[in-house]
Structure 1
């Protein structure tokens, strides 16, 4: 089962004294919706994140006790919310947004339709005898899960002890993961083991050198600036190492490694600046929450936005 990224407001209404609710949530594989009557699930629908199917509205149907047909149409009412329209035998009985019909945001429709869904990408990668898409499907889930797990570990240890201890434990766990990968040949670092070792060494040195809570909070900014510099330098050379390594883990086979490395470097600079602002403006507890539960999701959003640029090959 895929991870739920966002839960939209539940829409509730009644028909002939019967209570209905419609829930919707965004997951890694697309938008999911469900219709319940009197608290009992009756119908569900799903559309993928990308591809022609992604822009259609959901249609949820249930037969009422008297034999009439209730149809609920669910779709986007904007970028951050969904809405419904309910009809009984074609007659309107409820609107979540008066006078409005749900529809996928027009300015994003062409982008969504032109790209294949994740499932289609995986199939294409398999049929193409191991393109980058297939590699992404097999390997990217474990590194991402480990990133999330190590972030949670840092959060728990920091709450139980202090930032210095959490930083040192994070470094030890990082080296342990790299050693595990070298012994088992199971990819847990996302294809950049040597680069990861280098950054761990830098991180370890900073954790020992910057033996102060405020400076520990800025460690992410310092390592971010260093990593971003490596990315941009690699990208300027065409992305032969870092750009190429990361491109393997994206769900597209036409990513230009050089451009991808440069755009990731720019994102690194931006995230370093955000961390600096968070470290200076937020309390330690609030910064810790930001670093654990917000930072990675901002990066994911920026990478998705930047992918269009990374996929555009330079004119020869």
Structure 2
């Protein structure tokens, strides 16, 4: 059986090692400076009277300033890696991977840098795992809602539509116009329910594949002119990768339709040198000041398949690019 007290002591010792090493270095720096100053005073012709003469004060001040300057330079060099580490802590974002400090050339804080990088690896892995569970639950809930919309509300509206048709056939002439308007309203509502159900559960993705799903997705945004280009020689993709590509394309087009004020958007899915790239580019106003829940959700989905998502926004439009490695 492992002695937990020994293990805890060993962990504590490893945790204190960077601090102890840095303390020893600072102690050594100050010790060397004081020793050098003592030797200079011992072997130099300069003397200090008691009490101190006015003419000796400049010599003492200059000597003190030299010691402080040398100490500042040496200590600053020892603490520089801590500044780099603090800067990384301020800008770190678990949705943006590969932001690490190199573990070489950091002297006594190398172990601290290594520990911090290891912590980031662990946090990113835990976030990716929790995001995978959350997105899986989200997809399951979307499928459940889509089924209920299609099977229950959709069927109810279909029954109402058929009842209105029979009522229109038997109604007096003066009421038929109003009943026809009501019939069209119910038909439009039924179409909207079916469209929402398709967006919640892209059945065409599972039935016909990614290319057909992107084609159907492009046709849903009638107010936009979607220029679509999809390579015909796409590699075989797993269902998870296809779903991530579809959802990011869907979110990108939705953002363009709602916020960009664009009239045209380019949607492409290409393969170059083994790398799969999804790109959505619009000609809208652009100028994204901060990333909302939609873009952060796309970043979470990208991390699930090890892909890299970049969002570039200018006054001439926004470019969303997802690169899936080989």
TM-score category by the smaller chain?
under 0.3
In proportion to residue count, which structure has more strand? 1
**TM-score normalised over the length of structure 2:** 0.25
In proportion to residue count, which structure has more helix? 2
**Which structure ranks higher in relative contact order (CA pairs < 8 Å, sequence separation ≥ 6)?**
2
Larger Cα-atom Rg: 2
